[in-house]
Amino acid sequence: MKNLQIIKSEKFGNVTCDFYRGNNNEIFMTAEQLGQALDYSNPRVSIGTLVNRNEYLKNKEFSSVIKLITESGTRETRVFTEDGIYEVTMLAKTEKAKKFRAWVRKILKSLRTGQAQLISTTGVQAIKLVNQQVGMLVNEIEDIQNRVAHLEDNMTIDFGQQKQLQDIAKKKAIEALGGKNTPAYKSRSIRTKTFSSVWKDFKDYFQIDSYRNTLKKDFEKAKQYLESWQAQGKLLREIEDCNNQIQFQEVS
């Protein structure tokens, strides 16, 4: 049973039916394809339910569970013998099952008598294996691309980029204070409030707990934000009052 080899593929309507040969020249068909041929919406589940309701179908005379390479990959698959195929089609009791039974009888008979033209076992197995491996490779590549994209989206800025943001923030804070020679800049309280306000607004805007956690993908936007930052509201009033008050005293 371990050495099942595909010997023929035929179309029943739109369903591809693969026929396998075992060590004892027995012919087999997978439960999934049998379910597809019988037009079940969920072939594997439906055939599994039918087998569970008719326990005798689990006997080797009718079916076995083996590891088989299918279009879905290598997995445990129930395969039916000729007797098993006929039993399932009889139990299905549908018009589709009746048509399939008549069709498959001719196929099986031609295989037994040697009248059917067999396909190259090695070639078909190789093609199916290549298709399976290509499918797995495509899935792996997509998975890797998704992971890389996720990493890129969640990478934070490096030290050099942090330094650039620091320099811009410092420049904008000094500008807001009116320069280094202004009373507002020399006021430790106001100067501290201004620098803190730059970073508080920045963190609120980007929803982060530290400018060091700025995402790489947001770096250019972060620079633009800082370049456009201005003191607002109460802080702006404090800066203006401080600078104007000193100037007024000097004039007086």
Residue keyed to tokens 């490096």: 158
Per-residue pLDDT of 97-111, as tens digits, reads: 999 999 999 999 988
222, burial (CB in 10 Å: exposed 0-12, middle 13-18, buried 19+):
buried
Q: How confident is the model at residue 233 (pLDDT cuts 50, 70, 90)?
A: very high
Residue at a domain's end among 138, 154, 170 = 154
Is the pLDDT assigned to residue 1 strictly greater than 70? no
Q: Which of the two residues, 141 and 247, has the higher pLDDT score?
A: 141
Do residues 20 and 49 share a domain? Answer: yes
Query: In whole angstroms, what is the distance from residue 31 CA to residue 95 CA?
Result: 19
Q: Are residues 137 and 174 in the same domain?
A: no
Q: Give the per-residue pLDDT at 153.
A: 78
Question: Residue 252: its pLDDT value, please?
Answer: 44
**DSSP tally for the chain: helices H, then strands E:** 10, 5
Question: Cα(57)–Cα(47) distance, rounded to whole angstroms?
Answer: 11
Q: Domain check: are 110 and 25 in the same one?
A: yes
Q: What is the pLDDT of residue 80?
A: 95
Based on the fold, state whether residues 10 and 98 are members of the same structural domain: yes
Domain count, the chain: 3
Separation between Cα atoms, residue 69 and residue 79, nearest integer Å? 12
pLDDT at residue 112, rounded to an integer: 81
Neighbours of 9 (CB within 10 A): 13
Query: 20: helix, coil or strand?
Result: strand
The residue type of 191 is R
Looking up tokens 């000094």, which residue turns up?
A: 174
**13 with 68, same domain?**
yes
pLDDT single digits (tens) 112-168:
876 555 444 455 555 555 555 566 677 778 888 888 777 877 899 999 999 999 999
Q: Is 30's pLDDT higher than 50?
A: yes
The residues facing 28 across adjacent strands are 20
pLDDT tens-digit readout, 167-218 = 999 999 999 999 999 999 999 999 999 999 999 999 999 999 999 999 999 9
pLDDT, tens digit, 9 for 90 and up, residues 45-65? 999 999 999 999 999 999 999
Residues with Cβ within 8 Å of residue 173, at least 6 apart in sequence: 191, 194, 195, 198
Q: Identify residue 72 by its one-letter amino acid code.
A: S
Q: Are 58 and 129 in the same domain?
A: no
| 95 and 144 in a common domain | no
Which structural domain range is residue 172 located in? 159-251
Backbone angles phi, psi at 204, to 5 degrees: -65, -40
Q: Are residues 77 and 39 in the same domain?
A: yes
**pLDDT at residue 220 is higher than 60:** yes
Cα separation, 3 vs 122, in Å, equals 12
Evaluate if residue 38 carries a pLDDT over 50.
Answer: yes
pLDDT given at position 129: 53
Give the pLDDT confidence score for residue 140 in this predicted structure.
77
Angle at 98 between CA 92 and CA 102, to 5 degrees: 130
In angstroms, rounded to a whole number, what is the distance separating the alpha carbons of residues 67 and 143?
26
Find the farthest-apart pair of alpha carbons in the chain and give their distance in angstroms, rounded: 121
Let me know whether 148 and 204 are in one domain.
no
Together in a domain, 9 and 114: yes
Residues 207 and 145 placed together within one structural domain of the fold: no
Residue 20's closest CA among 6, 33, 2, 8? 6
Residue 251: is its pLDDT beyond 50? no
pLDDT at 6: 86
Which residues fall within 8 angstroms of residue 140, CB to CB, at 6 or more apart?
none
Q: Both 81 and 43 in a single domain?
A: yes
CB of 29 closer than 8 Å to CB of 18? yes
Cα 92 to Cα 131: distance, rounded to the nearest angstrom: 32
Are the C-beta atoms of residues 28 and 86 closer than 8 Å to each other? no
Domain-terminating residue out of 154, 178, 202 = 154
